[in-house]
Structure 1
């Protein structure tokens, strides 16, 4: 007879393995519960908002102020694709030839599954220097978890020609429209 037989005779090994299995089951179910809760919070937009962005080019108009600074206002349409509300507090972008500044109002709160609108001011310092590759826009937003920021690259605009249309970076399309409008207000 060895020590393992003695422990088994008194039921110590059976008790120990049952307790270990129960502890392992509790830990596994706790981990699965945390993963499920995190997935629900992510999907609901409680941790990271699900935001849709869009800029309507139809309303872009060139404005030249008394200092001969070329600019335009852009209407940024916000869509909340989740249940939790968020507030966009800042929109900005800096790239060669173009800067996106906050407009008025400078922040917008969008309720869950709702829509909102924010105005940005685009200052074009050099029409030819605006990049042809899509550039990101930085959004700062607040949720119940605090303030965060994200960089988003808007979808390409379409340049339509007589036979075909081709994609063009959003900032290049915006600069072309505003610069052409400043030179020729009758530009389509």
Structure 2
């Protein structure tokens, strides 16, 4: 019988055995960290999305009930390595409201974006009160599905630029959108 056997009887293992276990635990923790970081970086856990609101085709529309609206085209680019499905877009912005997709008008209720791809989503935005739309940038809430399940997140789109005589001034996306639509509606009624 040697001293290691005596120490083992009391529940104390030798230093080489403890070092081996410690190395296994450290290696396991580092491996899990590297795997989690890789999944995070790839967009497999939370998608990496680049948004762009295309205002080139923005046109004011007043329906037979007097409701002022516009169709907005949203470019959604997947910059990650895992695909995701965008299922809903909404916003709690005073003075404007996103409507759900209208399949009769060929609006897609959900769009799946593969890695590296760009998809276009069209939604109707109703302007309920031109003056009530805030001047500070407001977030958009989007719901998406990945292999990990359904989640939602908020994003604030970049400000639009207002061309001035000497410089370009930033203006909140929702304020620029409402101003553009409201001005078009007034001009069309004149």
Is the structural similarity TM-score above 0.5?
A: yes
- Whole-angstrom distance in 1 between the partners of 2:160 and 2:28: 48
- Whole-angstrom distance in 2 between the partners of 1:100 and 1:131: 16
- Whole-angstrom distance in 2 between the partners of 1:91 and 1:83: 22
CA RMSD of aligned residues (A): 1.7
- Whole-angstrom distance in 1 between the partners of 2:146 and 2:3: 58
Q: Does 1:131 align with 2:124?
A: no
Name structure 2 gaps, 5 residues minimum.
Answer: 102-106
Q: Give 1:15 deviation, angstroms.
A: 5.3
TM-score, with structure 1 as normaliser = 0.90
- Among residues 155, 159, 182, which one is paired with 1:156 in the alignment? 159
Name structure 1 gaps, 5 residues minimum.
Answer: 1-6
Q: Does 1:59 align with 2:52?
A: no
CA contact (8 A) 1:93 1:101 kept: no
Q: Give 1:100 deviation, angstroms.
A: 1.6
Out of 151-160 and 11-20, give the one that drifted further: 11-20
- Whole-angstrom distance in 1 between the partners of 2:171 and 2:62: 25
Equivalence for 1:96: 94
SS for the counterpart of 1:68 is coil
Equivalence for 1:3: none
How many residues of Structure 1 are paired with residues of Structure 2 in the alignment?
179
SS for the counterpart of 2:14 is helix
**Cα deviations by residue, 1:106-155 (Å, 9 ceiling, x for unpaired):** 21110011111111111000000000000000100011111100111000
Greater Rg, structure 1 or structure 2?
A: 1
TM-score, with structure 2 as normaliser = 0.90
Segments ≥4 residues shifted beyond 2 Å: 9-15
SS for the counterpart of 1:19 is helix
